[in-house]
Amino acid sequence: MNRFADIWNYLEQSGRNARKYMKAFSMFGRRRIFPQPTKEKARAKIVKYWKDSIAYSPVVAEARINAWMEENKTEVINKKTGAVTYKLKKPVGEVKFWLTHREPTEAEITKSMRSMMSGIERQGKNLPMQATNIDIAKLAMGCGYDPQGKPYLFHILPKYNARLIKFVHDELVATCPEEHGQAVAAEIADAFKRAASEAMTKVTMEAEFNVAPHWAK
């Protein structure tokens, strides 16, 4: 942390801003709004993800189910003999869940809300970098032009009979005739560099590429 104090401070400030304003931005201004944590959402998170923490013991759960079945049994009368029997109904779905689980306590809901706020802070740290990466990629692959009027890949690749195959994290995979491989790779690297420069003024985007007969990591 001491070696990269400015970076850590930036990340911490991004996280604090996300918690304070409930939103975060990429370097291109694209916004993500975070949902405001509430007790209802915190309770729902416990029920969905931490249900084991509010589950009754097997003995208690079985006793509650048996009691419910006894309470909700149906009387059946034999029309011929008049004998009375009882049909037990098994609980399913939400009914069974709340027979085998208890309601979260206020302390658990508060803890869940803190967890949700921590999640927002964590996403607030990540989003400016991850979303900016996506913005750069979309700009580089798109049909627009940079501030100098040079087109991006939508216009460039057809000249080489090339086409995009997939985008994996920060890697763009394209296919083209073998004789154009180096030129296409250089064009892609240049497009990403130009796209990044539209928002990144203090550093230059560097790109590496590999030309091969098949895709490999």
- Residue in this structure with the two tokens 């930036």, named with its chain if needed: 10
Q: Under DSSP, is residue 160 helix (H, G, I), strand (E, B) or coil?
A: helix
- How many other CB atoms are found less than 10 A from the CB of residue 127? 21
CA distance linking residue 87 with residue 74, whole number of Å: 5
* Same-domain status, 19 and 110: yes
* Same-domain status, 70 and 170: no
What local confidence, expressed as pLDDT, does residue 1 receive?
57
Q: Which residues pair with 76 in a beta bridge?
A: 85
Q: Is position 87 within any domain? A: yes
Q: Is position 130 within any domain? A: no
Locate all alpha helices (DSSP H) within the chain, ordered by sequence: 5-21, 39-49, 58-71, 93-100, 106-141, 153-156, 181-197
What local confidence, expressed as pLDDT, does residue 147 receive?
95
* Same-domain status, 216 and 158: yes
* Same-domain status, 96 and 199: no
What local confidence, expressed as pLDDT, does residue 25 receive?
96
Counting as low any pLDDT under 70, the low residues of the chain are: 1-2, 217
Q: Is position 118 within any domain? A: yes
Q: Is position 183 within any domain? A: yes
- 104 CB-side CA count, 13 A: 23
Question: Tell me: the pLDDT tens digits for 73-110?
Answer: 888 888 788 787 888 889 999 999 999 999 999 999 99
The β-bridge relationship of strands 23-25 and 31-33 is: antiparallel
